[in-house]
Amino acid sequence: MPEGSHRFTVGNIRCTVLADGYVAYPVSWVFPNAAPDALERALASRRLPQGTVVSPYTCLLIESGRDVVLVDAGAGAGSLSSGAIRARLEMAGLRPRDVDTVVLTHGHPDHIGGAVNPCGRPAFPGARYVLAEAEVEFWLAPRCRLDSLRVPDEMKRIIERTARHCLAALRFQLEPIDRECQIVPGVRAIPAPGHTPGHLALLIESAGERLLHIGDAAVHPLHLAQPEWENGLDLAADAALRTRRELIERAVRERMHVMAFHFPFPSIGRVAPLPEGGWHWTPGW
């Protein structure tokens, strides 16, 4: 596979992680309630920068029988390093019209921006776009209430504007869902609210193997080691923390691999409980 792509299988389902660039966020956005000294020590112990968090964008291509599913579409033209998903697909031997389902875990720009091309039309013309009904209702409401996000007001405006633009462009291909359900055989959508009202996780299962895609329920491995540390882009922090715990506890209990959109490429790994609480992240399949 080309650089920026990583292929693996879940039973009989072929999966490919597709990199769509990255963005460096201020640490105050990613860990807004972390004690400064504890955060400094945690970053230093991992040899990570103190001022910014480099956050990869990683989409997932699922090929299951006749179904071709893309989970999240990246940021499109939303950042200088993104917009690579179309090229990654072509390197994998697929064209945009070959994708028959796009699952949007939520409506933030780095997940939905690439769903619409620069001309304002669906980037995957033959696909149905699956996302939660609560997500559609929230972003298309007369007023989006983003006051609880701990990011600058300009970022809030970008988030709202991008979601409205993309959902309007996709309106004839949207397939909203309101409960846990099968998207295609072997792929289930699971409500995982908190980060956004309709945030989704995905369970991919085949031949006794399982992968739990947690979307943005955690956006950095430190959110597993220190699960009480919040994410400034979570709309409802308490609900997001509950969701994170429920998903990770399930992954541990059922011995599943985990994928997280913003974790270091290729964004898949295992989780295990730590003696002091929280979980340790081990990358790899």
Q: pLDDT, tens digit, for every residue of 22-80? A: 899 999 999 999 999 999 999 999 999 999 999 999 999 999 988 999 999 999 876 55
d(CA 212, CA 263): 14
Domain boundaries, the chain: 5-283
pTM of the model: 0.95
167: Cβ contacts below 8 Å, ≥ 6 apart: 107, 112, 136, 139, 140, 174
> pLDDT tens digit string along 145-160?
999 999 999 999 999 9
Output the pLDDT for position 285: 82
Q: What is the pLDDT of residue 82?
A: 57
Task: For the chain, give the secondary structure using H, E and C.
Answer: CCCCEEEEEECCEEEEEEEEEEEEEEHHHHCCCCCHHHHHHHHHHCCCCCCEEEEEEEEEEEEECCEEEEECCCCHHHCCCCCCHHHHHHHCCCCHHHCCEEECCCCCHHHHHHHECCCCCECCCCCEEEEEHHHHHHHCCCCCCCCCCCCCHHHHHHHHHHHHHHHHHCCCCEEEECCCEEEECCEEEEECCCCCCCCEEEEEEECCEEEEECCCCCCCCHHHHCCCCCCCCCCCHHHHHHHHHHHHHHHHHCCCEEECCCCCCCCEEEEEECCCCCEEEEECC
Quote the CA–CA distance of 48 and 86 in Å, as a whole number: 31
- Rounded to an integer, the average pLDDT of 123-144 is 96
User: Quick one: fold of 5-283?
Assistant: Metallo-beta-lactamase; Chain A (3.60.15)
| Mean pLDDT within 237-243 | 97
